[in-house]
């Protein structure tokens, strides 16, 4: 904006100088012919053009660092690069333990009430194991929900164990061999979290596909370029609380556009428990 103001002011001053020379010359005993005026006008126009170009070139180095600033930012400062759990404002954050009855869940009893909501399901470990038959009933019900986007596996200490996209849970956990697949990708993962290494087989992420929200964006790009299509973002470097997910394609588009938003607390989600 300052470059535009300077350029405009110089153009006006140049025009005034030329007009003053034309009207003031007779009083000084000088006579300016039309051809002389054309030469002076052309000179002023050329000089103004050079000045505008110089101003633009001088101004560009101040614009360039935006890319480097983005790469040096911590991920938590670039909010729009992370898809936060549980989702948009008003999302359903559904927490389920093994001892809870699936048929008592509101999303199962009244599915039409949740058709327009983002849904994140958190399966939380306890002293009781999850029953694949019960979980299949849950996923069959969630198969009707277009907003079911995230499935998180959380241990007894509220720490991350594994992640499965909603579409993958719908595809794998509702068919004829659903119980077998649930046992492999959910029950066995809770039994031994090293089994979370199998989750990428169904487009999920295990304990090896994590990143701190304090990582620099440039470091994150390097890490994901090594073969990670998605990573789970954990709070700070020492806390294993899952905050959201970052996808490589979205990350690259966001950095190319320089899409950065200031750090801010995410909008509060509508947290609804397993029972009313």
**Hey, where are the domains in the chain?**
2-63, 70-271
Instruction: Give the mean pLDDT of 52-62.
Output: 48
Helix axes 248-256, 65-72, angle to 10 degrees: 150
Residue 205: the pLDDT is: 96
DSSP 82: S
Residue 271: the pLDDT is: 37
CB neighbour class for 219 (10 Å; exposed up to 12, middle 13-18, buried from 19) = middle
Which of the residue ranges 53-62, 186-195, 231-240 would you say has the lowest mean pLDDT? Answer: 53-62
Which residues are 244's β-sheet partners? 84, 233
Residue 264: the pLDDT is: 40
198 Cβ partners below 8 Å, 6+ apart? 184, 185, 188, 189, 206
- In CATH terms, 70-271 corresponds, of 3.10.580.10, 3.40.50.20, 3.30.565.10, 3.40.190.10, to 3.10.580.10
Q: Which long-range contacts (CB under 8 A, 24 or more apart) does 7-13 make?
A: 7/48, 7/51, 7/52, 7/55, 10/48, 10/51, 11/48
Residue 78: the pLDDT is: 83
Provide the 3-class DSSP secondary structure of residue 262.
Answer: coil
Residue 240: the pLDDT is: 86
d(CA 41, CA 23): 14
Q: Are strands 242-247 and 83-84 parallel, antiparallel or unpaired?
A: antiparallel
4 or 209: which carries more pLDDT confidence? Answer: 209
- Winning range, highest mean pLDDT, from 85-89, 177-181, 226-230: 177-181
Instruction: Give the mean pLDDT of 2-14.
Output: 53
At 80, the pLDDT band (50, 70, 90 cuts) reads confident
136 Cβ partners below 8 Å, 6+ apart? 173, 174, 178, 179, 182
pLDDT at residue 133 tops 90: yes
Residue 250: the pLDDT is: 79
Closest CA to 232 of 246, 214, 251, 252: 246
Closest CA to 231 of 107, 7, 81: 81
Sheet holding 92-96, edge to edge: 160-165, 148-154, 119-124, 92-96, 270-271
At 265, the pLDDT band (50, 70, 90 cuts) reads very low
> Peptide bond before 43: cis, by omega within 30 degrees of 0?
no
pLDDT at residue 143 tops 80: yes
pLDDT at residue 11 tops 70: no
pLDDT at residue 66 tops 70: no
Instruction: Give the mean pLDDT of 219-230.
Output: 91
Provide the 3-class DSSP secondary structure of residue 269.
Answer: coil
Residue 24: the pLDDT is: 56
Residue 46: the pLDDT is: 45
Q: What are phi and psi of 235, to 5 degrees?
A: -75, 120
Residue 263: the pLDDT is: 42
For the chain, give percent helix, strand, coil, nearest 5: 50, 15, 35
User: In Å, what is the CA distance from 100 to each residue of 50, 103, 218, 231, 264?
Assistant: 75, 9, 43, 29, 35
237 or 107: which carries more pLDDT confidence? Answer: 107
pLDDT at residue 135 tops 60: yes
Q: What are the tens digits of pLDDT across the range 14-40? A: 555 555 555 555 555 655 565 555 545
Q: What are the tens digits of pLDDT across the range 176-223? A: 999 999 999 999 999 999 999 999 999 999 999 999 999 999 999 999
Residue 50: the pLDDT is: 45
pTM: 0.69
């Amino acid at each position: 904006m300052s470059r535009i103001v300077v350029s405009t002011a110089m153009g006006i001053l140049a025009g005034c100088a030329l007009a003053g020379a034309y009207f003031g010359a007779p009083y000084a005993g000088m006579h300016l012919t039309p051809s002389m005026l054309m030469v002076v006008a052309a000179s002023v126009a050329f000089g103004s053009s050079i000045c505008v170009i110089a101003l633009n070139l001088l101004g560009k180095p101040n614009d360039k660092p935006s890319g480097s600033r983005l790469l040096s930012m911590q991920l938590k400062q670039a909010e729009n690069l992370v898809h936060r759990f549980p989702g948009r404002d008003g999302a359903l954050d559904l927490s389920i333990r093994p001892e809870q009855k699936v048929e008592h869940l509101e999303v199962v009893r009244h599915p039409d009430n949740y058709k327009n909501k983002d849904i994140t399901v958190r399966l939380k470990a306890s002293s009781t194991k999850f029953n694949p038959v019960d979980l299949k009933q849950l996923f069959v019900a969630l198969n009707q929900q277009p907003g079911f986007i995230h499935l998180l596996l959380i241990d007894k200490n509220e720490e991350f164990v594994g992640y499965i996209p909603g579409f993958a849970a719908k595809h794998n956990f509702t068919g004829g061999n659903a119980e077998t697949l649930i046992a492999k990708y959910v029950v066995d993962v809770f039994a031994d979290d090293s089994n979370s290494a199998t989750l990428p087989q169904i487009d999920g992420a295990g304990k090896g596909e994590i990143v701190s929200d304090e990582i620099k964006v440039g470091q994150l790009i390097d890490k994901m370029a090594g073969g990670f299509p998605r990573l789970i973002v954990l709070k700070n470097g020492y806390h294993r609380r899952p905050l959201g997910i970052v996808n490589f394609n979205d990350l690259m588009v966001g950095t190319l556009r320089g899409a950065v938003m200031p750090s801010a607390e995410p909008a509060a989600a509508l947290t609804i428990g397993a029972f009313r």
